[in-house]
A = this chain, B = another copy of it.
């Protein structure tokens, strides 16, 4: 019984549904249907209804879904009806851009700690947030009870950083380094190597 009742692949689609609902809501739209949502996302309406049915009944026959209600429900299901404090390790060009990225706002996450090992960076600030010494990573993560970390260090150091984070109680790691992290059961890791995504497309060129 290590596996959850709801398939991973279903969970993986929920954030995409939520994002699309956010745009509809911003545009002032109040109601949508599985058919409309599916068209926008390139997914069948049956799949959307099936996915949602794992969690309850959120729509109304003949009408569809009230967008604000479905947003709330998806946020609750995904546990982003709160704000998770996120630590970012590695403040190179990419880490810097991630630290300044304002796309986390209102989507469940807030970068609240920055770490680097470069003495010329330690103590400086990005938008008021101080860059801390990576030597103190473990104790600081523990002290703040951080559960979510983003890693933007060079590939050669990413596994060690991940290991330290996990030791400090982190349960979710978003890894920008181009290497597959090995993590123990119960710990989640996601990988964001742009070249992997490019190569998935070049096959078809």
B-chain residues with CB within 8 Å of residue A20 when the two chains form the complex: 180
Is A180 a contact of B148 with CB atoms below 8 Å? no
Shortest Cβ distance from residue A82 to the other chain B in the assembled complex, whole angstroms = 9
A199 and B94 in contact, given A178-B19, A179-B19 (Cβ under 8 angstroms): no
Q: Which of B40, B94, B174, B182 has a CB less than 8 Å from the CB of A197?
A: B174
In Å, the complex CA distance between A192 and B174 comes to 12
Is A196 a contact of B96 with CB atoms below 8 Å? no
Which residue of B has the minimal Cβ distance to A94?
Answer: B97
Is A203 a contact of B147 with CB atoms below 8 Å? no
Is B205 a contact of A147 with CB atoms below 8 Å? yes
Assembly of this chain: how many copies?
A: 2
In Å, the complex CA distance between A148 and B20 comes to 25
Is B18 a contact of A198 with CB atoms below 8 Å? no
Shortest Cβ distance from residue A179 to the other chain B in the assembled complex, whole angstroms = 7
Shortest Cβ distance from residue A87 to the other chain B in the assembled complex, whole angstroms = 12
B-chain residues with CB within 8 Å of residue A190 when the two chains form the complex: 197-198, 200-201
A180 and B40 in contact, given A93-B96, A192-B192 (Cβ under 8 angstroms): yes
Per CB-CB distance, the 7 closest pairs between chain A and chain B, nearest first, are A172-B201, A15-B199, A97-B97, A190-B197, A188-B201, A93-B97, A15-B196
A-B contact pairs, 6 of them (CB 8 A): A4-B204, A15-B199, A19-B196, A109-B202, A150-B194, A171-B205
